Amino acid sequence: MGITALGLIRARHLSSGDPRRMLAVMTAAFGLGQIVGPVFAGSVYDATGTFLVPSLTAVGALLVGALLAMVGSAQTW
């Protein structure tokens, strides 16, 4: 929750004009992830009996997110 709050604060600072649209998109994306993530992990676990694939998928998503954050941060400086 702390990282999400920091992301919303940063989005508010980066948005030009009214930040509500960007905050709404970020909130919707967070909510979707909270729903899809456990369903995906549970389904893959049921099929394979291991959390290896869901864990590797989470690692990949974190790496993509970190890359996007670095690119976005470099563009704002």
Q: Which domain holds residue 21?
A: 2-76
pLDDT category of residue 77 using cuts at 50, 70 and 90 = low
Q: Distance between the two ends of the chain, CA-based, in angstroms?
A: 26
pLDDT category of residue 76 using cuts at 50, 70 and 90 = low
Q: Is the pLDDT of residue 17 over 90?
A: no
Q: What percent of the chain has pLDDT over 70?
A: 97
Residues 2-26: what's their mean pLDDT? 85
State the total domains in the chain.
Answer: 1
Q: What is the pLDDT of residues 32-48, one digit of tens each?
A: 999 999 999 999 999 99
Q: Is the pLDDT of residue 64 over 90?
A: yes
Number of continuous H segments (helices) and E segments (strands) in the chain: 3, 0
Residues 23-27: what's their mean pLDDT? 89
